Structure 1
Amino acid sequence: MAAEHVVIDLDENGHEPAERSGITQAIVANRRKVLLQLVAAFVIGVVLGGFGVGELRDSRAQRERSTVVSLVALPESGYSGGSNSRGTVQLNGQLTLVNTGPAPITIRAVRAERPGVQVRGMGQARLVRPGGTGQILVDLQLECSTAFQPEPLSVRFSVETEDKRLREVRYPVALVGSAWQEDALSMCEPPLDS
């Protein structure tokens, strides 16, 4: 009788019962499916989160732009008569405003005061678009002897920004050499006797 040698190869796959092999494949397939769903959810979350952050950043930048006030004010002759009483000249003038900011602004009020000078807006509001100009009529009260000092006059503006909030802005206006000085000095000079 010949002896049969039975050799079992332990490295060989596929010796599990068919029923158990199918369950294992189903578990692996389910794990892959769940993993793919998690990866897809993560990718969608990243995309939506990036979009949301971008929109939030744009919204914040727009809000910041709408609150910025940047303007330049230049005195212009708007001379339409005036009076000289005891060395004090009262006349009408105008300020030319240039909006150098990124959003439209509405100038609600203008006011400035220092010894010898009073400037008051005449009450009308003026919308000035970005990069645009507008004129505001003002009443001036100037003392001939003290009004025209070398330091600029700090003019306060009450400005409504695009977000409908009022802000106070100051701008230095040079009076020396301005049209206001020219108009006032012509009235400050005593009349020539003939």
Structure 2
Amino acid sequence: MIDLDEQNHQPAKSGTTTHDRLMARRKMTLRLVAAFVVGVVLGGFGVSQLRDSRDQRERNAVVALVALPQSANLGGSFSEGSVQLPGQLMLINAGPAPITVRAVQAERPGVVVRNTGQLRLLPPGGTGQVLVELRFECSIAFQPEPLSLRLSVETDDKRVREVTYPVALAGSDWERDALGMCPRG
């Protein structure tokens, strides 16, 4: 039996459960949005750091050298039509990072240039001299085209790179000193 005269009717409790679920969803959505924003900020910072690191590595990998023959008037010898003498090569590091010159060499008919084995550290914008051994065949060595020097250098990132640089022998101290030792004929 149902008593319809009773005044104690209470509303169903289903409204508070729905409200609680809605609040929980909003909190979860806010947490996800906050996590996403934090992820974007951290990701952007990380990408920026990686880009800066990559740019720094690329700058350190750049090798820019200028090479100039210096006086070879340090003694020498003449034998069988060729002159052998020690010389100096002035190197200027025009790059943005320090480099270590490991080897210098050049070879073409009538000319051989080799360093004497010492390493040379050059800071950015710095200069230094490398001792080289020069051999010139008096009959064919001195031609107008530049001599292509090959330099082996170690960059700041510990990688060894080979670079070439043309050096004009015509009119250089090396030519003057070698011609002074070649017989006049």
Does 1:125 pair with 2:113? no
Percentage identity across aligned positions? 66
2:35 to 34, 41, 65: 41
Aligned to 2:20: 26
Aligned length: 176
TM-score, with normalisation over the residues of structure 1? Answer: 0.84
Letter in 2 for 1:50: G
- CA apart distance, 1:64: 2.0
- Give CA deviations for 1:87-141 in whole Å, capped at 9, x if unaligned: 3221111111111222111111111111110111011100011111111011111
Q: Unaligned stretches of 5+ in structure 1? A: 1-15
- CA apart distance, 1:157: 1.1
1:154 to 148, 153, 170: 148
| Partners of 1:22 and 1:131 in 2: CA distance | 76
2:67 to 47, 70, 73: 73
- CA apart distance, 1:63: 2.1
Aligned to 2:81: 87
Does 1:143 pair with 2:137? yes
- Give CA deviations for 1:28-67 in whole Å, capped at 9, x if unaligned: 2112111110110000000010011111112222222222
- Between stretches 16-25 and 32-41, larger displacement belongs to 16-25
Aligned to 2:3: none
Q: Higher Cα Rg: structure 1 or 2? A: 1
| Partners of 1:128 and 1:42 in 2: CA distance | 48
- CA apart distance, 1:188: 2.2
- CA apart distance, 1:189: 5.0
| Partners of 1:123 and 1:173 in 2: CA distance | 20
Letter in 1 for 2:85: L
Greater than 3 Å deviation, 4+ residue runs: none
| Partners of 1:82 and 1:148 in 2: CA distance | 18
Q: Unaligned stretches of 5+ in structure 2? A: 1-9
Letter in 1 for 2:111: V
Letter in 1 for 2:101: I
CA contact (8 A) 1:83 1:89 kept: yes
CA contact (8 A) 1:78 1:137 kept: no
Change (3 A) 1:149 1:18: same
TM-score, with normalisation over the residues of structure 2? Answer: 0.87
Aligned to 2:181: 187
Letter in 1 for 2:89: L
